[in-house]
Each structure stands twice: as C-alpha cells, then as structure tokens.
Amino acid sequence: MRESPYITILGGGPAGLATGYFAKKYNLSYRIYEASQRTGGNAITLKHGDFRFDSGAHRFHDKDPEVTEEIMHLLGDELQKIEAPSQIYYEGNFIDFPLSPMDLLIKLGIPTFAKAGLELIAARLSKHQNNGSFENFAVRTYGSTIANRFLLNYTEKLWGFPSSTLSPLISGRRLKGLDLATFLREAFLGKRAKTAHLDGGFYYPKWGYGSIAERLAQACGAENIHTEARITRIMHRQGKIEAIEINAGERVPVDEVVSTLPLPILLRILDPEPEASILDLAKNLIFRNLILVVLFIDKERVSNNASIYFPDSQIPFTRIYEPKNRSAVMAPVGKTSLCIEVPCSPGDELWNGSDDALKSMVRTHLVALGIIREEEIIEDLVYRMRHAYPVLKLGVEEKIHSIYDYLEGFKNLKLSGRSGKFLYTHVHDMLRFGMDVVQEYLAVGETSDPIPDHR
C-alpha cells in the first residue's frame, strides 16, 4: 500500500478550499497557499458598515445532490431557499429571464412576437452551415429578433468580443425555455408553469455567499492555510514537480500538486519554462476583469429581482443585483444596496479609470433609467476583481486540450477551478472538482516516491 500523498494546493479560492475540505474529510495531508490576505477568491462577502454585499451576483443551485448535501452540512439552517426572479431591462420594460414566451408576447406585442416566432421556426429549419459560434447558437435557439435584442449585445459587453467569435459554452447552459412546449404550458397553466420555468429558486446563505468559502476554510483549519503566499515559481524535473517558490524567496518541496492558479500564470511560472508553442497557446487564454460599483440606498427596496440584466450597448454595465433580495440581513432595516457589474479588460479605459469617474457614470445611468433617484444614494464604493471570467473564444477548446496534454506530462499535477481549468463554471462545480480530485488520490494504488518534509 502507498503512503497517503501530501497535497500542495495552489490557490485558496472555492476550488482550492474544496480540495482541502475533501482531503481533510478523507484524512489526507495537505496545505493551501493563497496569494492574498484572505481565502475565497472571487466568491466572498464584503462588509461596509451595516451593509453586506457579495463579489458578484452569486447563487447556489441544486445541480449536484452530493455537493448540495455537503453545503447543507456546512451551513445548516443558515442555508436558505430563496425565490427571487431575474429580469432583463430593455427599452423601459422588465422582461423575464430566462425568456418566457407568454411574457415576451405581452411585452413585445403580437406583431413583433409573431415575427420572432417565424424567425425561430426558420432558424430551426435552416440548412445554413453552423459555424459553431455563440451568435449562431443564439439565433438558432431564439431567432434573430430575440437574439439581437436580448443576447448578442449583452454578450459582447460581458466578454469584450463580438459574439460571432465566441464559443456557445459562454451561455453557461442558461439558454432554454423559448419553445412551443413552454409556450403552451404557460398559456394553459399560467403562473404555475411560469414560476417553474423561471430560474428564480436557489439556495443562499443567510450572511452572504462568502459563508460557503468561510466554512470551507474553517473546516480546512487555519494551520493548513498559508495566506500572503504568492507562488512565483514551480520547479520541475523529468516530468515531476519537485518544489514551489513562495514570494520569490522560500522554496518548498512538494509531493502532489493541485493548481487552481489561472492557467496562463501556471504555465508562465514553470521552471524550466514550457516550449514556445505552449507559451504561445497560453497567450490566447484571456480573462475578463470585473468592477463592482456598489450603491448604498436610503430606501426599503429597489425591486424584487435577484438580478437585472442590461443588454443595451449604450449602458456600460451588464447586471445589477440587490443583496437584500437574497437575504434580509444584507442591509439595515429601511435601507438597501445595489451592486452594479461593469466588465472590462486588463489595462483598458474602464479598468484604469478613477473610482470617482466609475461611480459618476453608473449613478448617471441608473438615475436616467428611473431605477433610483440621486437623493436616495447614501454612499458608494468601487471593488475590482481580476480573472473574473475566462473568455471562451471559438477554437479555445482545442488550445486548452493541447495545454492539458502538455501538463499531463507532469505525473504529480492536477488542475482544478474555473481559472485553473479555464472553464466557465460555478461554485457547485468547484466543490465537485475538489471531491473528484481527492477521489482520484484515494483510488491510486501505490507509489515508491518518498514524501518530503513539509515543516
């Protein structure tokens, strides 16, 4: 029998914490190294006075029974079932999302809806070649009228590239519902069918979404987590990672390694470095950054929505969410807050812009849209996030697979996480990744490699 492996986990976001959590559950030794001062990555809850807000419009969906069971065990009664819909704001109307046929009929009117329906039928019957892009996928799913109004402009704002150059994988499996069967269900069953169709039900921790990462970290134990420990080099020889370098100084020997670092960063800090062709592939892996502008508002509630989406290309933000609609404790009694998401790219005008300019831009648009009044705003702040979304351009799957093939040459390296795998995934996926990685270690039969001293 082999000795239990010692797992070195690079990154303390949800995927890294999940790996540590399941490693501890199965009595495997491990240590997590996180570059920042805190764990949680881009799935944390922040505080400002008596207000709380998440670093994104996070929701936990019951997509994986085993993972849901673990989250329920971690959070207990603090995990609440929430019913709050999402909508699209378009030309003064609030339209249900995911798109609902009956709602579109009411909001768009019979002529436009009929046109959209005929386009949808034509798109489904069309024999035109499918180029595999998100644009083609959206048009074939919804027809050109609906796709152009609600999906394509929004997609280009969010990802920073024309939808004709993006993979359908960016949809996150959310394009659904606009079909004849759904229309008939809504027509004859009314509100019951509509409620079941809309993506309004989800789980949410009472004290904010960051509670998931916090409980994972608590379960891992502070003694197993090193913060302010940036990985600056990964030393390897003959197909095996031998050590990591922390903060350009300390060298730590390793046995098994799980990396949740952004895939291009992982490749850049390998020593010796990969061949030029692999580094060239890594340059094609692009991330989108995200800026949150948070407004604290002297009002009980702005809307009843979990999220509101803005496809209009003239509006600089893509989505707003109201934390109080996820949990009442996210804002003081009689007050609320709005988190406005502004996607951008590293080094662009938005990312490099001043906080004051960002706040002014967002406030001006929200007031002009009639969503809030200027005098209702108590205070505001800006929060910035790097590596928020991997940009899945057409053909990226082949590039990623080539990189995976190269990295599989390291017999003691595994990848995990949204950034680590360069996939558009969610927190329930992160826990599944962690569970699967640990199961792989448990399934390994034997090894003759000695386990180094990890101090």
Residue with tokens 């269900």: 185
pLDDT under 50: residue ranges of the chain: 1, 177-178, 180, 184, 188, 195-198, 445-455
Q: Decide if 229 is inside a domain.
A: yes
* 453: DSSP letter: P
Strands 270-271 and 231-237: parallel
Residues 260 and 303 grouped into a single domain: no
Domain that holds residue 413: 6-43+60-80+207-284+393-443
How confident is the model over 92-119, as pLDDT tens digits?
Answer: 889 988 777 788 888 888 898 888 878 8
Closest by Cα among 271, 273, 245, 290 to 418: 290
| Residue where a domain terminates, one of 199, 220, 253 | 199
Amino acid 413: pLDDT: 98
Count Cβ atoms below 10 Å from residue 380 Cβ, excluding itself. 21
> Are both 114 and 243 inside the same structural domain?
no
45 pairs with which residues across the strands? 54
Beta carbons of 437 and 416 less than 8 angstroms apart: yes
The CA-based dihedral angle spanning residues 302, 304, 309, 313, taken in that order and rounded to the nearest 10 degrees: -30
Chain position carrying tokens 């005008």: 349
- Please report, for the domain that includes residue 150, its CATH number: 1.10.3110
Residue 247 is assigned to a structural domain of this protein: yes
**Final residue in a domain of this structure, among 347, 365, 390:** 390
Residues 300 and 152 in one domain: no
Q: Which amino acid is at 80?
A: Q
- Same domain as 249, residue 159: no
Query: What is the H or E stretch that residue 420 is in?
Result: helix 418-421
Domain count, the chain: 3
pLDDT recorded at residue 364:
97
Flag whether 109 is in a domain: yes
The CATH number of whichever domain residue 422 belongs to comes to 3.50.50.60
Q: Which of 411, 402, 405 is nearest to 239 (CA)?
A: 411
Q: Are residues 275 and 314 in the same domain?
A: no
Q: What is the pLDDT of residue 382?
A: 98
Beta bridge partners of 236: 241
Q: Looking at the structure, tell me whether residues 276 and 408 fall in a common domain.
A: yes
Write the pLDDT tens digit of every residue in 288-304. Answer: 999 999 999 999 999 99
Planar angle of CA 109, 164, 314, nearest 5 degrees: 55
- Give the 3-state secondary structure of residue 434: helix
Residue from 122, 26, 115 nearest 443 by CA: 26
Give the separation between CA 266 and CA 318, rounded to whole angstroms: 30
Nearest CA among 325, 376, 331 for reference residue 52: 331
